[in-house]
Chains A and B, each alone.
Chain A
Amino acid sequence: MKDLLKSLPIEGRRSFVKQLGTLMVSFPLTSPILWPSYGPVQEEKLPRTLQRNPSLGAWLQVTEDNRVQVFTGKIELGQSIKTVIRQVAAEELSMEMEQVEVIMANTAMTPNEGYTAGSGSVKGSAIAVRYAAAFARMHLCSLAGNQWGLERKDVHLDNGTIFSKDKKRSISIANVLGGQQSEVEVTMPIELIPKRKYRFVGRPNVSYDIEQIVRGEPYFIQDLVFPQMLHARILRPPAPNWNGNIDVAKLKLLLPEGLELFVDGKMLAIVGADEYTVVKTHRRLDRELKWHSDEVSVTDRTLSEKMKEMSTEEVEVISPTVKEDLAGATFEGTFFKPYILHGAMGPACGVAKFDMDLLEVWTHSQGVFPFRAALASLFSMPAERIIVKGEAGAGCFGHSSADDAAADAAILAHAFRGRHVRVQWTRQQEHQWEAMGSAIKIDVKATLNDQGEIVTWESEVRTDSHSTRPNKDPGTLLSARYLSKPFYMKGKGYIRGGHRNAEPYYRIASNKLVAHHFQGPLRVSSLRSLGAFANVFAIETIIDKMSRYLGEHPIDFRTKRLDDERAIAVLERLKEQTINEKTAEREGLGYAFGRYKNTDGYCALATKLSVSVNGDVTLIKCWAVVDVGEVMNPLGLEMQVEGAILQACSWTLKESVTFEGNAVSCADWNAYPILRFGNVPDFDITILDQPQEQPLGGGELATPPTPASITNAIFDALGLRIYSLPVKIQSHP
């Protein structure tokens, strides 16, 4: 191995961070860091985000008090990514976890890691941190070895102190750096800690911030307070094409003293120092403003039948390889999933301050860098003059309204210069304005031949976009569409998310997949697992029909038609877990399987439930067997799996957005009910750990198999097949 020290530049080092004794620390660079552009891919590869951001200082730095700060471009949203990053950093640095602080997404401090999305935080950020931390260990040891005239192999690092092999010499990591941070670049080769020696990774760890949460300390973006902060509430019509009686002079007469009315096009805001006065005034003006639209189109009652005629483009994603009809028995179904809300418990909040041509924005956005690009375009200002700081938000499970509320705050910050402006959306706004998960309609027709082989599988998927996340197009921000000089989103976003997992993972002679773009009435974007939730619902229902037709156990039917040993393993374990399960009258047991994206984690799921004569479904127990490759934090993974199943149970049994044209009518938790205590099943989660495999991400894999495990259980209980969600069973004696 080459001597790392010789490659160190002497100049261009930066000084230590001064610890302020608070959660947030100052950063030595006042201007945002410019990150190198993508480098060429080497044969011996660093993780991708490390290739883009190879500077060691971009990932971690040593503080004066001999602790380590790790920077991640990802944001904590309840998925426990900070915990995992702390585990891998502490592991590779041979430090106690308490000595490692994790700093999350901030355009002035952390690497650009795009969005916190797609179950990609572990395989992206955590792996990058693993390599960066291991490199840092090697680098620090080389520095000490050089001072002592020893080879790196003759020194070792233990909890912040470097020792010579004979233990005669030691130096802290802060002192070995001599008060300077290294500007070295992370390069291969890197020696990782052998997995058999792990102390933290692969073991259950409670969440990084759990104590702060149970103490009720300020933690969320909603808890941020700044001196002289202004509070704001927004008013605007249900959609940009609606009009209203915006009589500014008349509205201003309704304002109590000290409050301001902001108006730009169809975006209005009430702004003032006392939050509750702003809230009351907002309600008063909200009643005063009447919005109307001439557009009469689809409603939630007519959506399913109109989706075919409202679909436009047609793309043959997979072409059939067998032309002739090989049919034996045919199995068909038309499946429907309505619009579904993210429904974060904390409505969106954003804070912004514009002063001296510098815009600072605090947000629970999932992508601080892409969001900054959208703001830069919106305000025609250089991105370098915008700092976007990630703050914890309520769990949102996809592209939430965080960016929109922060953009609202940024627009108001330009009008109220020098003051922090805090925008808090109301519950009604959160329900009505968020970019929800799109409705989907799927037609499936499949055939089995006489040998019981699946010979053909044809599916047509109709759905809208599955990501309209912020990017340099300001029209991706909701607020921008309502301004007097409006920006509308160009393009349609990520269309292909709609047919995620539409291709079955089973052995099939000839597949055909046609995807249609359905131009729906409502604003949509990514929601946990995108189209996979509906597509796996369709596939696993047809598979259940086939297994019953052949009289095979639903798990045996699947394992016989899978070639992937890991897929077979999760199913076989599930069979062991449930083989002795008995069902009483009106009870059913249903199975489903999915490999997320057909490339990521494996999940086999069984649900036991009962159905009352009134048609009410009671969930009794869920069994899940998952394989996500290397498991960093089994506790975190178990919670993600439980949470994903429960949330998908809620979608399956209860949830559907109601609307008239492009106005959402379900504006609170009574009009949009979700699963509550009282119908929470028991759980039995089994994790098949594969320490030598790549980590595959665990945040979404249990979502897609959930609906079919429920509806297949309903069939098992009643002989009733469900094709349309949410499940509605008329009284069924």
Chain B
Amino acid sequence: MITLRINGEELITSASPDTPLLYVLRNEFQLFAAKFGCGMGQCGSCAVLIDGEIRYSCLLPVAAIGTKSVRTVEGLSTMEGDLHPVQQAFMEENAAQCGYCTSGMMIATVALLEEIPQPEDEQIQAALKGQLCRCGSHPRVMKAVKRAIL
């Protein structure tokens, strides 16, 4: 048994220690925001925050997390359901086409803004470089990040 701290809750999993966090989030805890995109840490669809830093959950064994806190998109909004400013900005800017990459984009944005509250355009593009999108929602995502800064 492994105890994980996910979105402020202590959750216990019986998954084998080598199981990547992504499978535990989705199949045991019904947290579906993080997506399976490649399983190789190449696309960013499965991004989560581990102690505030962006990590790809498809490659992260649950045994390696220890006491660090895991935050997923479900944990961005308040308990009352109020959206996080980054979620609000993505919604207002309609910063998604199909939406498959959107969770990862928002996680990368939260990680960026917690480190650099007023990033330049180049810093935004650099922070999102690991997040792939096939629909070409990039311009909308840029607008959303800038809206979240305001």
Q: Which residues of A contact B (CB under 8 A)?
A: 77-80, 206-207, 209-211, 213-220, 222-223, 225, 274-277, 279-280, 343-347, 392-395, 397, 424, 426-427, 635, 639, 642-647, 668-670, 674, 676-678, 680, 682-683
Bound: A643/B102 CA distance, A: 15
Q: A280-B18, A670-B42 are in contact. List 8 more A-B contacts (CB 8 A).
A: A214-B87, A217-B32, A275-B23, A344-B100, A345-B132, A677-B125, A677-B126, A682-B139
Bound: A131/B23 CA distance, A: 46
Chain B residue nearest to A430 in the complex (CB): B38
Residues in B neighbouring A670, C-beta threshold 8 A: 42
Bound: A645/B138 CA distance, A: 11
Q: Which interface class (under 10, 10 to 19, 20 to 34, 35 or more) fits B? A: 35 or more
Residues in B neighbouring A277, C-beta threshold 8 A: 16
Residues in A neighbouring B137, C-beta threshold 8 A: 639, 643
Partner of B35, one of A275, A343, A346: A346
The answer to whether A214 and B38 have CB atoms under 8 Å apart is: no
The answer to whether B142 and A210 have CB atoms under 8 Å apart is: no
Residues in B neighbouring A678, C-beta threshold 8 A: 125-126, 129
Chain B residue nearest to A213 in the complex (CB): B99
Bound: A171/B39 CA distance, A: 56
Residues in A neighbouring B113, C-beta threshold 8 A: none
| Interface of B (DSSP majority class) | loop
A276 and B96 in contact (CB under 8 A), knowing A78-B135, A206-B91, A214-B83? no
Could you list 29 examples of A-B contacts with CB < 8 Å?
A: A78-B99, A206-B94, A210-B90, A210-B94, A210-B99, A214-B91, A216-B32, A216-B34, A217-B32, A218-B30, A276-B19, A280-B18, A345-B43, A345-B100, A346-B35, A346-B36, A346-B100, A347-B37, A347-B38, A392-B98, A392-B99, A424-B36, A427-B37, A639-B97, A669-B40, A677-B128, A677-B129, A680-B125, A680-B142
Chain A residue nearest to B40 in the complex (CB): A668
Residues in B neighbouring A78, C-beta threshold 8 A: 96-99, 135
B26, B94, B101 interface centre (most CB from chain A within 10 Å): B94
The answer to whether B40 and A213 have CB atoms under 8 Å apart is: no
Residues in B neighbouring A206, C-beta threshold 8 A: 91-92, 94
The answer to whether B129 and A213 have CB atoms under 8 Å apart is: no
Partner of A669, one of B16, B43, B140: B43
Q: Which residues of B contact A (CB under 8 A)?
A: 15-16, 18-20, 23, 26-27, 30-40, 42-43, 45, 72-74, 77, 83, 87-88, 90-92, 94, 96-103, 106, 124-126, 128-129, 131-142
Residues in A neighbouring B27, C-beta threshold 8 A: 274-276
Bound: A677/B144 CA distance, A: 14
Residues in B neighbouring A215, C-beta threshold 8 A: 33, 73-74, 77, 83, 87
Bound: A310/B51 CA distance, A: 57
Residues in B neighbouring A209, C-beta threshold 8 A: 99
Bound: A695/B58 CA distance, A: 43
Residues in B neighbouring A220, C-beta threshold 8 A: 35, 99-100
Partner of A216, one of B16, B20, B72: B72
The answer to whether A210 and B103 have CB atoms under 8 Å apart is: no
Residues in A neighbouring B92, C-beta threshold 8 A: 206
The answer to whether A77 and B98 have CB atoms under 8 Å apart is: yes
Bound: A347/B43 CA distance, A: 12
The answer to whether A346 and B74 have CB atoms under 8 Å apart is: no
The answer to whether B16 and A644 have CB atoms under 8 Å apart is: no
Residues in B neighbouring A217, C-beta threshold 8 A: 32-33
Partner of B20, one of A276, A642, A643: A276
Q: How far is the CB of A699 from chain B (nearest CB, A)?
A: 10
Q: How far is the CB of A386 from chain B (nearest CB, A)?
A: 26
Residues in B neighbouring A214, C-beta threshold 8 A: 73, 83, 87-88, 90-91, 96, 102, 106
